Amino acid sequence: MYQNSLQSYMSIFQEALMNSAKSSEAEERTEAINTTFKRSLYQRICRSLFARDQLLFSFTMSLKIYGVDPTLLRWVLMGGFEDEDHHAVPNPFTWLPELIWKLLRRAATQLDGFAHLTELLQQHAMFFMDFYESSNPLELELPGVLNDMSSIEKPVVVRCLRMDKVVPAIRNYVSDRTATGNGDEQGRRRGMKGS
């Protein structure tokens, strides 16, 4: 359905050669050409896609360019795997459905950096209740160390608490990646230690 010719790629590359930042250093010049070419290619392809396909393309490109831990990606998309929780902790909240509590416990046991998720939920119970009940939870600022999570870790928390908001969370991830151009996920990652 979507096709681009070699000639169109050559045209984009030639424009990148002309429009990229000039430098006497070969490495800097190569980096500038690559950055300009990728940005131009991305923008042109997005312009040519049907609206329904743009988010999927952007998400796929962001994952490829910036690299994402496959376990986190699997969690965002599928919610991890069902396992026997021999140390099951009863749900302490009346407002939180049992299924969501189990998903939060599963994230805490299966994902690196999420070990203290249930403790953070208990420490910030009012925030999480607001998040769960809000019509627009992605506009709420996450408390404490949750706010320091990488942009791919935040959709994991969203998936646990509000599965209906995963697509907007992915849209935020793509927007963050394309706006900052920063793929340093591991550099921003501090892990969730009790606060």
Domain ranges of the chain: 6-48, 70-177
Of 132 and 8, the one with more pLDDT: 132
Average pLDDT value for the chain? 84
pLDDT tens string 58-78: 898 888 878 888 989 999 898
Residue appearing with tokens 């998720």: 117
Between CA 47 and CA 28, with CA 13 as vertex, the angle to 5 degrees is 115
- Put simply, whether the predicted model's pTM sits higher than 0.85 gets the answer no
Q: What is the largest CA-CA distance in the chain?
A: 65
**CA–CA dist 150, 161 (Å, integer):** 17
Confidence of residue 132 (pLDDT cuts 50, 70, 90): very high
**CA–CA dist 172, 138 (Å, integer):** 9
Sign of CA dihedral 177, 137, 116, 167: negative
pLDDT at 186: 37
**CA–CA dist 13, 46 (Å, integer):** 17
Alpha helices in the chain (DSSP H): 6-19, 26-48, 51-66, 70-78, 98-110, 117-123, 125-133, 154-161, 166-180, 185-188
**For range 120-148, the mean pLDDT:** 90
pLDDT tens string 8-38: 889 989 999 999 999 899 999 999 999 899 8
Confidence of residue 89 (pLDDT cuts 50, 70, 90): confident
pLDDT at 124: 92
> Do residues 72 and 189 make contact, with C-beta atoms less than 8 angstroms apart?
no
